[in-house]
Amino acid sequence: MKKTLIAGALSIACFTGGFGLQANAQEHVRENLDVASIIHPKQEVAVVIPWQSLTYQDLYKQLLISELAIDHRGIVTTKNSITAKWTIDPTMTPQEQKEFKELYGNAMQVKFTPSGNSFKGEVLIKGKWIPLDKEELNEFIKEIFRDETIDLKPGGYFTDSIGHWAESYIQVLYQFDIINGTSATTFNPNGKVTRGQLASMIFRASGLDVKEEYEGPASYKDLEKFAGAKEVAVLEAYGLLDIFDGANFEPNKPATREEMAFVTARYIEGTDYDVSKVSKNNPFTDKGKMRQETVESIGLLKQLGIIDGVNGQFNPKGNLTRAEFSKIFTLTLALFDDAE
């Protein structure tokens, strides 16, 4: 009999809570930037993080794990800058929208660039980048990170992931201790994920403890020299690895996209997240290439908004990349936050 994965999956709330995104249009000029009314309309201003205490790399990491980045794709990074964008609030009056557009266009943009070990900031007003003085910069930082008091892990500034479509997801899982870089400064986002790595990362995300959960070896015959053998045994006991139904687990074999989907769906179903009313309809046109036991799992994740395909196809046999894992599991963790 399979064990039941108890609720208690990691919540993403501590990273993305409390960040208002929509801009409230008022007449803002260089001499009197009312940041609070733009980023957090009708909310009390609170001092959280003095900008002087942040390095440029810390700012980069903080922004990547913000709601603006995760939910609204409002952070744009390059090798030399970070730009935060706040779009027009659709609830604004026509006059407010007109005033906003006259100043900022369709989005208010603040660009941060390195300056020594710290950074400087500029705001785009009427098509021109206007430097922010220390007081204005501090005001922006206070508002961006209000209610977010996060102790960042050392490292995580992965130079090969700057500007990558998955960099925010990568940073979230790195801060959660679910994934690691391939070196102190690289992540290899397009690299393959092996079955053993998949099991280890899912285990870390589950919050399970080997010392408390391990009850004996897994059924697989090839784990004697695999460092994560006990983790595999625990996950197998919970039914998360049923897709790997051979005599051997083959921990060094690349995991496929459909295998990730199956394991993730089992992970969700094993918690107290209610999927009873979620459709498992699988709309992908390459459904015939999927293993039968993965069809509903892939359908479930699609209906939950966790996975996508390309041109209507899922590519189930394709190798899972580290970037794809990062996105899929960040969005999975976000489900538990949304359900609270």
Residue 269 in tokens: 């179903």
112-128 tens-digit pLDDT: 999 988 999 999 999 99
Please state which of the ranges 107-111, 142-146, 249-253, 271-275 shows the lowest mean pLDDT.
142-146
| Residue with the two structure tokens 């769906």 | 265
| Residue with the two structure tokens 């910069």 | 137
Please state which of the ranges 71-75, 97-101, 179-183, 281-285 shows the lowest mean pLDDT.
71-75
* b/e 101-139 (16+ beta carbons within 10 angstroms → b): eebbeebbbbbbebeeebbbbbbbbeeeeeebeeebbbb
Average pLDDT, the chain: 85
234-277 tens-digit pLDDT: 999 999 999 999 999 999 999 999 999 999 999 999 998 999 99
User: In this predicted structure, what is the pLDDT of residue 280?
Assistant: 96
DSSP reduced 3-state for 162: coil
Contact 110, 140 (CB under 8 A): yes
User: How buried is 285 (Cβ within 10 angstroms: 0-12 exposed, 13-18 middle, 19+ buried)?
Assistant: exposed
Secondary element (H or E) of residue 129 = strand 128-131
User: In this predicted structure, what is the pLDDT of residue 50?
Assistant: 53
Q: Model-level pTM? A: 0.85
| Residue with the two structure tokens 């209507």 | 312
199-226 tens-digit pLDDT: 999 999 998 999 999 999 999 999 999 9
- Using pLDDT thresholds of 50, 70 and 90, give the confidence band for residue 146: low
22-56 tens-digit pLDDT: 333 233 333 344 444 444 443 333 334 555 678 99
- Using pLDDT thresholds of 50, 70 and 90, give the confidence band for residue 4: low
